[in-house]
Amino acid sequence: MENLNEQQKTRLFTALSDRERALRDDIKREVDSQDEYIQLASEVPDAGDLSFANLSIDLGNAAVSRDLHELRAIELARKKMHSGTYGECISCGYAIPFERLQAVPEAERCAPCQENFEHTHHDGMKGASM
């Protein structure tokens, strides 16, 4: 976290919290009309519990799946803030620029590594099918 000063860390922490709250609201809204939410809610007595996003729920809802995916990334980022590894690219180990973290606070990789990762991922799929 040496690349970030206290003020930047605080801002990113707030950004993560805000995003998390928005996502939880989104998910709640998405599944509110469905019976699944009752089940979901009863499985999670404490909505603030980390296990919330770790539940594997198949609601057949793309928006919810995407939200849950992002929620997991946010929780991971918060854990990293705790352990002091937040802001480090998991691919190259270099510091992710504050500007990128501001735009995507849960980013795990710097922009070039993310591009590379997606590119490699697609190539791997292609190679496997040949």
Binding site for Zn ion (CB under 5 A): 89, 91-92, 110, 113
At closest approach, how far in Å is the CB of 30 from Zn ion?
A: 33
H helices present in 1-130, as ranges: 6-32, 36-43, 62-83, 98-103, 111-129
Cα dist from 59 to 20, 35, 55, 65, whole Å: 20, 10, 12, 8
* Nearer residue to Zn ion within complex by CB, 74 or 110: 110
Could you tell me how many residues make up the chain?
A: 130
At closest approach, how far in Å is the CB of 92 from Zn ion?
A: 3
* Nearer residue to Zn ion within complex by CB, 73 or 89: 89
At closest approach, how far in Å is the CB of 120 from Zn ion?
A: 13
CA proximity to 27, closest of 52, 1, 2:
52
* Nearer residue to Zn ion within complex by CB, 57 or 95: 95
CA proximity to 109, closest of 72, 73, 58:
73
* Nearer residue to Zn ion within complex by CB, 70 or 88: 88
CA proximity to 72, closest of 52, 93, 101:
52
At closest approach, how far in Å is the CB of 111 from Zn ion?
A: 8
